[in-house]
Chain A
Amino acid sequence: MATTTMATTQRAARYYGKEDIRIENNVPITPCEPHQVRIAPAFVGICGTDLHEFLGGPNFSPVHPHPITHETVPITMGHEFSGTITEFGDAISRDGKKGTGKFEGLEVGMKVAVQPSIYCGECPACRSGAENVCPNGGFYGLSGGGGGMSESVCVPADAVFPLPEHVGLDIGALVEPISVAWHGFRMSPLYNHPDPSQTWAAILGGGPIGLAMILVLMAHDVKNIIVSEVSGIRQKFAKDFGAHHVIDPRTYDLVGISKELSGGVGVDVAFDCAGFQSTLTAACNSIRPRGTVVNLAIWERGVDFNPNMLVFKEGIYRAVLGYQKQDFQEVVAALEDGSLDLGRVKKMITKVVNLDGLVEGGIKGLVGGDREKMVKVLVNVKE
C-alpha cells in the first residue's frame, strides 16, 4: 500500500537517561521498510525495566550504538504495546525480490499486539531457535527502532498478532508481560504435562509477572497454586487472580507448606518471580524430587547457592529470558478461546494515564508509596 502524504514528525516519549524522560513533538517518523508494518500504538504498559532505566539507567538503553538498531539514547520508549495497523511495507523488497507472504492475514485497521523482540537471526542462538537469547538482541522501545510511546512505529510484519474481536487494545498491551510468564511456563515441565490438574506450582513474588503466572497456570488447568508474597495488597491480588494458597513468607515457611500441601513431596515447579536470596533458596528447597525451579527474575547481584540443595533431590534450576513468537501466538489464542480469563486479565490494569502523565502519574506512581496497589499502569497514547 503506497504511502500518501504524511506528517514527518510525531509526538513520543523519549528516554535520555536517569530521571530524564521527555515528551517531544518533533520526533522523526521512520519509513516503513519492505518487511515491516506501521503501527499506530494505542496502549503501552510501563514495565519494571522502564522503572529501572528511569531510576538508575541507562542499563538496557544503548549508550553506544546498538549492534542491530545502531541507535543510542535518546530512544523512544514503550515495549509492551498494542495498536492498529496503518501501513504495510512494500511487499516487493528493495532488491526486487517478491515478499515472503508474511503479510498474509493482516489488514490495515486491524488491532494487534506487538512482539517487540529485536534479534540478529544469524548467530548460533538465533539459528538454534533461541532468538530470545541472541547476544545482539534488544527490544523496540528499549534499544531503538522506535517504541510504543509514540504515534507511529514500524515493526516486522511477523511481530504483530491480530487481537480477537472481543479483546480490547488495552488488553492487547498486556500480551507482552503475559508472554513473559507464558514463556517461563512453557520452559517448565508443566507445559504438555499429561495431567496438569494434579500438579503443584509455587510462585515466589506477587508482582506483575507473578500475577500473570497465576493466570497462565490457570489457563493450563493447574489447580494447586501457592503464592508467596510479603505485601498484603499483593496477597489480595494473588487471591483475586485465583491462587489457591497465598502465604506471607515472614510468617509461614513455604518449604514446609509446599511439602505438606503436596502430599509430602514438594511442588513440581517453583517460579521465582522475585529474585532474592531468600526466594532462590526457598524455591530450591520447596521442589519435589526431580522438580524444577524456573527463574524469571532479573537479579541485581550474585547470591549464595548451595548445589547440594539440588543434588540430593536431582532438582533442576533454570533461568528463562523474555519470550518467543510461539508465546505471543499462544497467549493471543488463549485470550481468544477464553482459557486466559479475560475478566481476571483485565484486573491487571490498575491505572491508565496519558502520555503527558507518564512520569508523574505513571512512573512515579509505580515507585512511590502506592506502588503495591499497582499491577500494570498503561499509557493511553491516543488520548
Chain B
Amino acid sequence: MAVDTMKAVRFHGRNDLRFEHIPEPTCGKDQIKVSKEANLHEYLGGPGICPTTPHPITKETIPLTFGHEFSGTIEEIGSDIKGDFKVGDRVAVQPIIYDGTCGACKEGLPNCCYNNGFVGLSGWGGGLSEHLVVPEYCVIKIPDNVSLEIAALVEPLSVGWHAVKISPFKPNDYVLILGGGPIGLSVIQALRARGSNCTIIVSEVSAKRKDYAKQFGADHVLDPTVDDVVARCREIADGVGVHEVFDCAGVQAGLDAAIHAVRARGTVVNIAVWEKACSIHPNDVMFKERKYLGVATYVLGDFKEVIDAISEGRMKPEAMITKRIELEEVVEEGFKALVKDKDNQVKILVKAWGGN
C-alpha cells in the first residue's frame, strides 16, 4: 500500500531547514494522532539541540521535523487509549519526552529526565507538519473559549508559569526580569495571573520589546545600556533590591546585575539556557546569603494551569502573536524574520495545515 505523504518542515543541520513531503505517521495503539483537519500551529523558538546521534528515547537523528510549541485537533485515537478523548477534540501538545525510569522521573520531575527530549526537537515528529502521533500524556484538551492559536502559546507560557511557581515569589514582592523576549513576557503574565500586586521591573534593550513589556504589565522598564539596573532596582525596591530576579536572557552582564540587584536572602531564578559558561564570584552570593535557582521548562500540571488561567481571563496572551505565516513560508518568512527582525517579533504563528 502506498504510504500517504504530508508536508513538514525538517531540520537537517545548522541553518538548514527544509520544506519537504515526508511519509504520514500512523497512529499506534497507545498513541493519539493530531492533525491537519483542523490546525496545527507553531510559534517558532530559536533552533534547539537536535540529536545527531540517536536520541536515547526516540532513537531518531536528524533530519527531524521541527516545532515544539503547538496545538491541534485529534484525528485518530489508538485502541489502548483510556483517557477521555474523542476525534475532533482541540488540544495543546505538551512536548516533553522522558524515560519514566531515571532518578529524576522517579522523583516526579520528567522535565529533569536524564534522557529527556522534546517532540519537535528530538524526534516523534513535530508541530511543523500536517500530522503527528504522540503519547496520551502529551495531549491536553482546551476549553471552547480558548482558540487553537492561543493554545499554541501555552508551551512558552508554561515555562514562565513554572519558573514563577517554583520560585519563592510572594504576591507583594519586587521582581526584576532580565530580557523582554517571549519568556520574559510569559513571566510577566504568570506574575500578574497569580493575582499579585508585585512590582515588576524589566530590563530590555529593544524598543519594541520594551513596549511589549509595558503592555503585558511591567511597572518599570529599564534599558541596561542606559540605566544602572542595580541602582535603579535598589531605588525602586525599598532601597535594598528586589526579592527575585528572573533571568530570561542568559548573558554575563545580566547575571552580574542580577546578583547585585537582589536583596539579602533573595533569589536569582535562571530560566535561560546558556550557550557558554560564565563566571560568578561566590562571595557576592555569600555576603547576602543569596540563592541561585535553575529552572527547566515545566512539569505535568503546568499546562493545565496555564490553560485555566487563559480560559478564566487571568492571562491574555494574544498580543504575543506578531506574525502569521503558512507552512510553506516557514523557512523564508519564519526563521529568517526571527533572526533578522528579532526586535519586532515575539511569536510567529504557522498554519501548519498549509491553507485549505
Contacts and interface: CB of A to CB of B under 8 A. Distances in A.
A124 B238 contact: yes
B278 A130 contact: no
A302 B280 contact: yes
Contacts of A132: 289
A91 B280 CA distance: 48
A305 B255 CA distance: 11
Given A125-B264, A133-B265, A307 B250 contact: yes
Interface stretch (B60-68, B105-113, B127-135, B206-214): B105-113
B59 interface: no
Given A263-B103, A290-B107, A314-B166, A295 B294 contact: no
A318 B285 contact: yes
A254 to B, nearest CB: 17
A265 interface: yes
B73 to A, nearest CB: 33
Interface string A343-361: 0000000000000000000
A321 interface: yes
Contact of A295 (B106, B277, B285, B296): B285
A296 to B, nearest CB: 8
Contacts of A275: 282
Interface string A250-265: 0000000001000111
A133 B287 contact: yes
Contacts of A124: 238-240, 263-264
A309 B278 CA distance: 12
Contacts of B296: 311-314
A289 interface: yes
B112 A289 contact: yes
B8 interface: no
Contacts of B271: 311
Contacts of B290: 318-319
Q: How large is the interface on B (under 10, 10 to 19, 20 to 34, 35 or more residues)?
A: 35 or more
A320 B263 contact: no
A315 interface: yes
A303 B280 contact: yes
A297 B255 CA distance: 21
B281 A317 contact: no
A299 B103 contact: no
Interface string A125-139: 100101011000000
Contacts of B288: 125, 133
Given A124-B264, A308-B273, A313-B104, A321 B289 contact: yes
A277 to B, nearest CB: 10
A315 B294 contact: yes
Interface string B261-294: 0011100001111101111111101111111111
B294 A313 contact: yes
A68 to B, nearest CB: 16
Interface in A179-201: 187
A334 B238 CA distance: 38
Contact of B112 (A312, A317, A319): A312
B164 to A, nearest CB: 14
Interface in A30-77: none
Nearest to A317: B292
B270 A307 contact: yes
Nearest to A309: B294
A308 B287 CA distance: 24
Given A130-B265, A187-B289, A289-B109, A310 B294 contact: yes
Nearest to B162: A314
A299 B283 contact: yes
A304 interface: yes
A290 B109 CA distance: 9
A219 interface: no
Contacts of B166: 314
A321 B287 contact: yes
Interface in A282-332: 288-290, 295, 297-299, 301-321
A305 B278 contact: yes
A82 B292 CA distance: 36
A280 interface: yes
Given A128-B264, A295-B285, A318-B292, A311 B273 contact: yes
Nearest to A310: B294
Contacts of A321: 286-287, 289
Contacts of B240: 124-125
Given A125-B264, A264-B102, A264-B103, A307 B112 contact: no
Contacts of B281: 299, 301-303
B295 interface: yes
Nearest to A132: B289
Contacts of A265: 103-104, 106-107
A304 B282 contact: no
Contacts of A311: 270-274, 294-296
A187 B265 CA distance: 11
A265 B286 CA distance: 27
Contact of A306 (B107, B278, B285, B289): B278
Contacts of A266: 103
Contact of A288 (B103, B270, B280, B282): B103
A89 B204 CA distance: 56
Nearest to B101: A264
B104 A318 contact: no
A305 to B, nearest CB: 4
Contacts of B102: 264
Contacts of B282: 275, 280, 295, 297, 299, 302-303, 319
A295 B280 contact: no
A306 B274 contact: yes
A295 B284 CA distance: 12
B140 to A, nearest CB: 22
11 contacts: A133-B288, A263-B103, A264-B103, A265-B107, A280-B282, A289-B103, A303-B280, A309-B294, A311-B272, A314-B166, A320-B286
Given A304-B278, A318-B292, 13 more contacts: A124-B240, A265-B107, A290-B107, A298-B283, A299-B286, A305-B280, A306-B277, A306-B278, A307-B274, A310-B270, A317-B292, A317-B293, A319-B283
Interface of A: 124-125, 128, 130, 132-133, 187, 259, 263-266, 275, 280, 288-290, 295, 297-299, 301-321
Interface of B: 102-104, 106-107, 109, 111-112, 166, 238-240, 247, 250, 255, 263-265, 270-274, 276-283, 285-296
